[in-house]
Chains A and B, each alone.
Chain A
Amino acid sequence: MVGERQHPLLSTLLRLPFYLLAVSVMIPYYWMATNAFKTIPEIVRNPPTWWVHTFTLDNFYNPGAAPGAPKDSAEFLGIFQIFANSGFGQFYLNSVLITLVTVVGSLLLASLVAYVLVKRPFPGSGVLFALLLGSMMIPWEVTIIPNFLTVRDLGWINSYQALILPGLAKAFAVFFFRQAILGIPDDLVDAARIDGAGELRIWWSVVLPMLRPALAAIAIPVMLGEWNNYLWPLLVINDDAHQTLPLALGKLAGNLTYDPRGAGPMMAASFLVSLPMVIVFLLFQRQFVQGLSSGATKG
């Protein structure tokens, strides 16, 4: 236990069930990562194999299978061949692009508004802040139907702006940045003003650098939410060109129940979908933990 001293043997014994729990928590990853590199007969073998006997990349690209081969052919298609017309690579690009633009865009817009609210208030900025706070109480489900209608009426179905723009103005980010900017001394901003810096310049070169921890704290949930977003793309996208990874995975999983050979490519796809988040997590573990903790410690 934290802050307690225990006999080493006792502490190991106490921890043992939790080590087992940790192993079972990791099994889905292990299962997915190993199956992505197994041959189809090995994936469907009973009892299952616990490590890769025959390493293969066929689940990603199967050189033996012609694109568009019939489903009952002996060769199965790799993930990059299943979506041959639009392409799994395209979905990957879409997801990366949308996540990146949303994260960067919403952070810049929100921090700019927070800066103006705190350091350059205008008549009505109090009302605006109250509106922002109020909107945080409203769950996103309330807005989803009218937002769909708006996007449809603007003729934005099957477009990148439909995927990006509705998620760009984030009230909770403004609120979070406001708290951080309140801690920046007015003198610093005034000094920059006297030196002749415009508002935009002060925000960019004085405020943003000081907001770095807050930026990381907001970027993480926004990134995760965007990468895993399923319902909104499901509503506004129905062509192939603008599909995101979650949608592609959803389509793929639909096939799984009917054809066990879909399992190999699906594990490969799942592997590719969660890989960026695993890498980001391993690179920025510290920021993840700090970003989370900043919300809860002063509950």
Chain B
Amino acid sequence: MTNHAPARVQNAAPPAPYRRAHPARRFLTQHAPALGLTLPFLILFALFGIWPVLRSLYLSFTDYDAISTPTLIGTANYSTLLADPRFVKALTNTATYMVGTSLLSTALGLLLALVFGGQRLSDQIMRACFFLPSVAGGVGLISVFKWLFSSEDFGLINTLRQWLSLDPVRFLGSPMYAVPILIALGVWGLMGYNMILFVAGLRSIPGDIYEAAAIDGANPTQRFWRITLPLLRPTLLFVLVTSMIGAFQEFFSFYFLFSDTSNVGGILDSGLSLVVYLYDLGFRHLQMGMASALAWILFLMLFALTLLNLKLGRINDID
């Protein structure tokens, strides 16, 4: 008997067994083919998806230097972190970055979608221009930004400031500019992405609602506030929350612009984010327990954001 035969009969006909067999054996012949197909995924998922979550939770309650055996220390990691000025600094930076990046990229994305949401060729070209950074911006371009913001003679932004007779600024060397520069980069990379999401959202609003409103004498401003915005609310929420979650987890731009071989986080930790601090704790200072605790605090914050999203979404349903 081939492997497929019972399965085929089972599915084509009602599941009445046509042959008496041991239940375990029947289970195997019936489900082994399906289970077998999922096995590679299941093994990888268990090893790199489930097991690390449990292990990380355990490690967060231990003192572990990655070499000797972990020793349980209760919630000491969590209380140490909450009292740690570097953690607070990283949290402040990340939160500022998150608020700035998500609000600006959402607002600009909506504005761009309203302006360039049409079907004209010029609209399509403009959309491609704004969208490009989110596709090809990543790693390749960040070193270009390091160059643009350089305080040397060849730093483009300082050269532009010279033309306007403004004094040169040490952008990457001044703590006050760190987060604003990161927000600018974040918005640069994200606004085109959000724009595309808004274009899709705007297209799903039926045109006849606008026509009816126009006949009733609503001006464009009224139409925007009374029709576009309320009907766009699900998209708006989605864009805002995904932007916030993404910004909260940002590692690369923080690390690349403000860390070098001897120092992580830049001057006075002005460019320290939560994930960069996690990296610093876990992999440079080998405090894996503390870093795991940080990861779980991060999870709780992201979880709160997601719950907030669900709650806001539910209010929206009642409308």
Chain A residues within CB distance 8 Å of chain B: 1-4, 14-15, 18-19, 22, 25-29, 31-32, 43-48, 109-110, 112-113, 116, 120-123, 128, 131-132, 135, 137-150, 165-169, 171, 174, 190, 193-194, 196, 198-200, 203, 224, 227-228, 230-231, 235, 245-246, 249-250, 252-254, 256-257, 260, 263, 266-267, 270-271, 273-274, 277-278, 280-281, 285, 288-289, 292-293, 295-299
Cα(A222)–Cα(B159), bound, Å: 38
Which chain B residue lies CB-closest to A11? B115
CA A250 to CA B251, docked complex, whole Å: 14
Per the 8 Å Cβ criterion, residues 175-220 of B in contact with A are 188, 192-193, 196-197, 199-204, 207, 210, 220
Contact in complex: B35, A122 (CB < 8 Å): yes
When distances are taken between beta carbons in the complex, the residues of chain B under 8 Å from A45 are 154
Among B80-88, B99-107, B230-238, the stretch that binds chain A is: B230-238
Instruction: List which B96-148 residues lie within 8 A (CB) of chain A.
Output: 111-118, 126, 128-133, 135-148
- Taking a contact as CB atoms under 8 Å apart, the answer to whether B154 and A123 are in contact is no
Number of interface residues of B (CB under 8 A): 108
CB <8 Å contact, B52 and A256: no
Binding stretch for chain A, among B41-49, B71-79, B264-272: B41-49
B48-A123 in contact (CB<8A):
no
Q: Contacting A171 at CB < 8 Å: which of B49, B207, B224? A: B49
In the complex, how many angstroms separate the beta carbon of A248 from the nearest chain B beta carbon?
10
Contacts of B298 in A (CB 8 A): 139, 141-142
B296 to chain A, nearest CB (A): 7
User: Which 10 residue pairs are nearest across A and B when measured between Cβ atoms?
Assistant: A274-B140, A293-B200, A299-B234, A228-B138, A146-B52, A273-B140, A299-B238, A169-B44, A143-B52, A146-B55
Question: Which residues on the B side are within 8 Å of A149 (C-beta)?
Answer: 55, 66, 288
Rounded to whole angstroms, the CA-CA distance of A208 and B27 in the bound complex is: 27
Give A33's nearest chain B residue, CB to CB: B144
B140 proximity list for chain A (CB < 8 A): 32, 249, 270-271, 273-274, 277
**Is B295 close to A, CB under 8 A?**
yes
Question: Does B247 make an interface contact (CB < 8 A)?
Answer: no
Q: When chains A and B are docked, how far (Å) is the Cα of A117 from the Cα of B66?
A: 38
Q: Does B90 have its Cβ within 8 Å of any Cβ on chain A?
A: no
